[in-house]
Structure 1
Amino acid sequence: MPFLSAADEAVTLYLGAPDTELDEANPENRFGPAWLDAVAGLLDEVAAEPTKPLIITATGKFFTNGLDTDYVFSHSDELPAYLDRVHALYTSVLTLPVPTIAAINGHAFGAGAMLALCADHRIMRADRGYWSLPEAALNMPFTRGMSALLRTRLPDATVTEAMLTSRRYGGNDAVSHGIVEESADVEALPTRAREVAVARASLIGPNIALIKKRLRRPLLEDLAAPTPASLL
């Protein structure tokens, strides 16, 4: 399950299990109910004691592969409530009272790709892994909140291509298309994330949270809108 690791420079939220490259129970770090519970609790801990920037990352092949499709298909009647929980996760990251940095170590797909966009600053592994929105290829719609997140956080040409074609972007492509701010070799990824964290550490406090909420108010309103049962 996800966990926090604190160092002098920052707190790191790992999306997988401790002491292992891959969580055997959830090797793709998908958004299962228990995973969502764990991450929400950890973000609450960060918000309650905002003393250091937050780095969000994982280990292995995946940053996160997004929605738990097995759960979705077997609990279709619970889909609106499940998606509302995903929206709440995005809102938590978007409004944290600390600088947030996503260190994207591997594949970030669908809802996981959107999670990366919630961070204030994004660094993606250059040599391996893709950022992609596969929903069009999978005949899946985007929710109102997800569409607003993508429209707000990406350039228009990029969001149009990404949502309508399900293109996969490698690290350097993600930089040139405005999906992430920079790319780095996998060995340098943690170091670069910590450097950004140190540079922004002085901004921590209630003022940064207020700025984020006002900056992102229309997006937060869209994310707070209940998912209708008619979505699918």
Structure 2
Amino acid sequence: MTELVTVQESDAYTLLTMDDGKANALSFAMFDAINAGLDTAEAAGKVVIIAGRPGKFSAGFDLSVMAAGGEPMIKLLRCGADLSKRFLTFSTPIVLAVSGHALAMGALLCLSADYRIGIKGNFKLGLNEVAIGMTLPWFGIELARARIANGQINDAVGLAHIYDAEGAVSAGYLDEAVEGEQLLDRAVELATGLSALNMEAHKATKARIREPMLERLEEALRRDFQAGDYAIAASS
């Protein structure tokens, strides 16, 4: 079996590349592989770049688990929520090289990272839950409230609007869009520049910036998982 996430070290950054040979579905195994890669990067104290396979960053949660429902579905949702929180509080900057489609949980990862670079072209980015008969969990709502442009949050979340990369910059999913052949070079350029930061100061300042959002996120996680209040409306 092909390794789901490859880890490459350089002097300035750690590159994690997701590739399941398909749509980069966020399965239990993929979450484990991403977290293992982040463990390596955190131990090294380096900026992180996370990339996807060509044309597909991530299509979101493993639909075979989501369709089955029950405790496995809730557990997978929690894996996604925990990874978003890890991104938001990570000790070094996380740069996403969004290599194509980023939908559902893939888009939520875009809302969780420090800097997001997409590629121009016929790629889809956004929260499509409403369109496929699912209610966005509270943690996803809070991520959207924090990062989606105020004037677009209803379209982006309530109406499941899907964007190309340039539209995703305007909406707040991405920070910039480049040509496909420039994606990794731009991510490396950015990560190399960010490597000059004092990482202790970065972590502490990021925590202060995001403190109100993280407080709201904790309440969202309580509603989603501790209070049993999470309702997912599967299409019939």
Same fold (TM over 0.5): yes
CA distance in 2, matches of 1:95, 1:195: 23
TM superposition shift of 1:204:
4.3
- Once the 2 structures are TM-superposed, how far is the Cα of residue 220 of structure 1 from its aligned partner? 2.6
Aligned length: 223
8 Å Cα contact 1:132/1:162 also seen in 2: yes
Question: Pick from 12, 17, 20: which aligns with 1:14?
Answer: 17
Q: 1:36 to 1:171 in 2, by over 3 A?
A: same
Deviations 1:125-150 (A, max 9, x none): 01231112111111211111111011
SS of structure 2 residue aligned to 1:203: coil
The one-letter amino acid of 2:210's match is: R
Alpha-carbon distance change, 53 to 109 in structure 1, aligned in 2, over 3 angstroms: same
Could you tell me which residue of structure 2 aligns to residue 214 of structure 1? 208
Answer yes or no: is the 8 Å Cα contact 1:98–1:204 preserved in 2.
no
Give the conservation status (yes or no) of the 8 Å contact 1:154–1:179: yes
* Separation (CA, whole Å) in 2 of partners of 1:182 and 1:61: 17
Distance in 2 between the 1:36 and 1:178 partners?
24
Aligned residue type for 1:91:
K
User: Contact 2:24–2:53 (CA<8 Å) still a contact in 1?
Assistant: no
Q: What is the rounded CA distance, in whole Å, between the counterparts of 1:77 and 1:179 in structure 2?
A: 30
CA deviations over 1:68-94 (Å, ceiling 9, x no partner): 111122242333332122111011111
Q: Give the alignment of 1:172-211 within 5 angstroms.
A: 172-211=166-205
Alignment of 1:92-131 (within 5 A): 92-131=86-125
C-alpha separation in 2, matches of 1:122 and 1:131: 12
State the identity %: 27
Give me the whole-angstrom Cα distance separating, in 2, the residues matched to 1:4 and 1:93. 17
Measured at CA, do residues 63 and 204 of structure 1 come closer, stay the same or move farther in structure 2, by a change above 3 Å? farther
Cα displacement (A) at 1:36:
1.0
Q: Helix, strand or coil for the counterpart of 2:92?
A: coil
Q: 2:67 aligns with which of 69, 73, 80?
A: 73
